[in-house]
Amino acid sequence: MINTVTILPAAKNDLRSFVEKTSGQKLLRCYQCGKCTAGCPTAYLWDLTPRQVMRAVQLGLKEELMRTHSYWLCVFCQTCSARCPQEIDIAAVMDSLRHLAILEKRAPAEKEVALFHRHFLRLVHRFGKVWEVGLGGLYNLTSGHPLANTSLLPAMFARGKLPLLPHTTHNMEEIRNIFKRAEELERKSAGPETGRKA
Amino acid sequence: MAVSYAYYPGCTLKTSAREFDESTLKVCKAAGIELTELADWNCCGASSAHSVSPLLGLSLPARDLQTAEALGKPVAVACAMCFHRLKHASHALGDAAKLKQVNQVLGKEFRNTVKVEHLLTILGSNGSSYQVTKKLEGLKAASYYGCVLVRPKEVMELDDEDNPQLMDRIVASLGAETVEWDFKTECCGASLPLSKPEVVVNLSHKILRQARQRGAECVVVACPMCHSNLDIRQKAMKAAYPGFQEMPVYYFTQLMGLAMGFSAAEMHIDKHLTDGLSLLKSKGFI
Ligand code: SF4
Ligand code: SF4
């Protein structure tokens, strides 16, 4: 992907400091053995493999990394984290990368995956609980795949697996406040590492 | 002695995995384990909250844990995903600075003193006393734990990460036989079914294929997400992988219930998309 790179000192490596701060992981411990990639169930779809993602964070290749599909395809199975000989929680690093992309309002390379998370949380924000019919409906309406998974619906409905109306948490004020305060606090503590350079 | 828990069902057990909820409640009642549903619980955030906002990913489960803490009861969880999020929150909030932040978000005091246990541990521990009245003799099952139930080991505190035995022991106690296999904790595709169904079909198919190769007639699970990926995608697996043979997927509580004398209807075996009744009939269990 890139022929030459410049290794930045930590102070200038915004990507690495953000990821280290939010994931609590020591990125420089990674010695590129590749065990994370070997065990990752979805790595066959990643443009940069988990090992390469780790390297890109070490090197501070923020723009190159943010553009990839890789971290969006992590399903958080934690196989990598369990196997890393350097005891790095790689899954937490992937979480940090998604979090960074969202804080910086970047267009996700995997728009469907990002959309799924967004709708999921929209429902929790609205009802306190997830409502599967609503989640599927919102997803299909907005993803450009209006018929995604609909072939399964008749059988699911017939078995009473998909209630048409949402269950809700009663104290919704508390739930909305949780969303609001978490976002405020997170933006406040995001620090100078986030933000896109022109 | 009746043991009493605040029961956290989670969203899926109230909708597409109702059979897991209902079999859990019936089995626990019969085994003298008292489960009282946690009042006004909210979603744990599952795979989405922490993917988008780490603080939200801790605060949503913390609200539920706080409710249980105020009751002074330990929390019992059946869903592997919810269990993962609740355990993860308790573990992460061992950090005083994070706990302080979460308390700011919650707007009330949570001290993080509550214990979270999975039903596999509760039912599988020596203290639990369920009566097997109808042995499931001759049934060969593959226990499938999936990823989030056991990983990371220090946080989940459930069982070994690569070769867990807890569910195998329960299944064996019912008279059934469990097979040795390599896919116990491989990933089924997790939360990708809406956005990437083809990935789920690929990964889940590999799991069922090896279960079959090792002689299993069914797969037993403790996670509604694994169940859904393995159960409802079998038609698609057939289309994508010629020669694939369907295989029933049961919740461990459903098999427990059957062995404890409940009927197939009471255990909602007919709720699955892949036929689970024929195998049980052929064995003479129902
Ligand atoms: S397993 Fe750990 S040390 Fe090895 S490449 Fe992956 S992150 Fe680096
Ligand atoms: S947690 Fe993510 S990166 Fe790690 S093995 Fe699983 S899918 Fe791959």
Which positions 97-156 of A are in contact with B (Cβ < 8 Å)?
Answer: 98-99, 102, 110, 112-113, 115-118, 120-121, 124, 128-132, 135-136, 139, 143, 148-149, 152, 155-156
Q: Which two tokens stand for residue A103?
A: 């804080």
Mean pLDDT of A57-73: 94
CB contacts < 8 A (A, B): 174
Condensed to tens digits (0 to 9), the pLDDT of residues B119-138 reads: 999 999 866 689 999 999 99
Question: In this complex, which of A99, A131, A175 lies closest to B52 when CB atoms are compared?
Answer: A99
Who has greater pLDDT, B27 or A132? B27
Give the start-to-end residue ranges of the domains of chain B. Answer: 3-121, 131-282
CATH class of B3-121: mainly alpha
Least confident of A1-15, A105-119, A133-147: A133-147
Tell which residue, B141, B142, B212, B138, has the closest CA to residue B175: B138
Mean pLDDT of B153-174: 93
Question: In this complex, which of A75, A120, A124 lies closest to B192 when CB atoms are compared?
Answer: A75
Least confident of A38-47, B13-22, B169-178, B188-197: B188-197
| pLDDT score at A120 | 84
| pLDDT score at A140 | 65
**Between chains, do A160 and B18 touch, taking CB under 8 Å as contact?**
yes
| pLDDT score at B110 | 97
Condensed to tens digits (0 to 9), the pLDDT of residues B39-60 reads: 999 999 987 888 888 899 999 9
Residues of chain A with CATH 1.10.1060.10: 10-109
| pLDDT score at A157 | 59
Distance, CA of B232 to CA of A161 (rounded, Å): 12
Question: In this complex, which of A45, A117, A155 lies closest to B52 when CB atoms are compared?
Answer: A117
Quote the minimal CA–CA distance from B255 to chain A in Å: 19
Average pLDDT value over all residues in chain A: 83
Under DSSP, is residue B17 helix (H, G, I), strand (E, B) or coil? coil
| pLDDT score at A51 | 97
Q: Which CATH number fits domain B131-282: 2.130.10.10, 3.20.20.70, 3.90.440.10, 3.40.50.11810?
A: 3.40.50.11810
Condensed to tens digits (0 to 9), the pLDDT of residues B59-90 reads: 999 999 999 999 999 999 999 999 999 999 99
Q: Are B118 and B80 in contact (CB under 8 A)?
A: yes
Whether pLDDT at A2 is above 60: no
**Between chains, do A95 and B54 touch, taking CB under 8 Å as contact?**
yes
| pLDDT score at A161 | 63
A9 touches chain B (CB under 8 A): no
Who has greater pLDDT, B39 or A159? B39
Mean pLDDT of B215-227: 95
A76 touches chain B (CB under 8 A): yes
Distance, CA of B100 to CA of A157 (rounded, Å): 44
Ligand nearest the Cα of residue A35 is 1
Q: Are B203 and A73 in contact (CB under 8 A)?
A: no
Whether pLDDT at B214 is above 90: yes
Under the banding of pLDDT at 50, 70 and 90, the label for residue A4 is low
Cα separation values, B103 from A134, B52, B97, B122, Å: 30, 20, 10, 29
Whether pLDDT at B94 is above 80: yes
| pLDDT score at A198 | 36
Under the banding of pLDDT at 50, 70 and 90, the label for residue A144 is low
Residue A57 Cα to ligand 1 midpoint, Å, equals 12
Condensed to tens digits (0 to 9), the pLDDT of residues A77-132 reads: 999 999 999 999 999 999 999 999 988 999 888 888 888 888 888 888 888 988 77
Ligand 1 atom at minimal distance to the Cα of residue A31: 3
Tell which residue, B258, B256, B266, has the closest CA to residue B285: B258
Question: Who lines ligand 2 at CB under 6 A?
Answer: A 39-42, 50, 74-80, 90-91, 94
| pLDDT score at A134 | 62
Report the DSSP beta bridge partners of residue B142: B219
**Between chains, do B42 and A124 touch, taking CB under 8 Å as contact?**
yes
Mean pLDDT of A61-73: 94
| pLDDT score at A165 | 65
Residue B171 CA to its chain's centroid (Å): 14
Whether pLDDT at A6 is above 90: no
CATH class of A10-109: mainly alpha
Q: Which pTM does this prediction carry?
A: 0.90
